[in-house]
Homo-oligomer: A and B are copies of this chain.
Amino acid sequence: MRIVAELQTITARHGKAARMKAGQRLKLINTHGCQVVDTWAFCDPHLSEYMSMEHSRILLFNAFARKGDTMLSNKYRQMLTLEEDNSSGWHDTMVAACSPELYREFGIDSPPHRACSLNLIEGMAGLGLEIPEQPSPWNLFQHTFIDEKGGLTYPMPEARPGCYVVLKAECDLVIAFSCCPWDHPRLPVNGPDGQINDCHFETL
């Protein structure tokens, strides 16, 4: 008998967190395609140690993790390994989560716009947890291109409907996701139509 885990929904424009035990795997599915999922991980139960982009980049010798790579904590603990990836393979580490302050910079502040930075807080609160700070996110499925002078551009996203990544927890942790609500046409990270969609995950 195969035990089928429940497929969980990350509602479009919202966040969700889940606990993972060391060794456990999670499949994150880009159900409709072209949806960026901001992702964070915090050590469980000591949330002040968390997955860090600026620490991971040092030992990856790369701005991006690819299949087989492991993301590290702010103390260089192994946290999440990208075990499978049938997306375009681009997962941004360069930019902060969208926030009310960023929407204000783009002239969007009334009515208030949903934001990944707040979705992180809401997602963690769903498990009764409070985060001590806002780490920079791992923006799964977001393609940020860096040219040789450091210039950042955002090519049209290539994540096909149903593509997925499998993440393996290397320690006990809390993982948090946000289906990024960014829909400003200047940076079409979620596709040219500005459509924001649900994604799904299951533990394997």
Instruction: Write the residues of chain A forming the contact surface with B, with a CB cutoff of 8 angstroms.
Output: 52-55, 57-64, 74-76, 94-96, 99, 101-102, 104-105, 132-134, 136, 145-153
Contact = CB atoms under 8 A, between A and B. Distances in A.
Given A76-B105, A133-B133, A148-B148, A96 B58 contact: yes
A95 B151 contact: no
Nearest to A90: B150
6 closest A-B pairs by CB: A63-B150, A54-B96, A64-B150, A54-B136, A75-B101, A62-B150
Nearest to A52: B96
Contact of A148 (B60, B99, B101, B147): B147
A136 B136 contact: yes
8 contacts: A53-B54, A55-B102, A58-B95, A59-B105, A62-B151, A63-B146, A63-B151, A64-B150
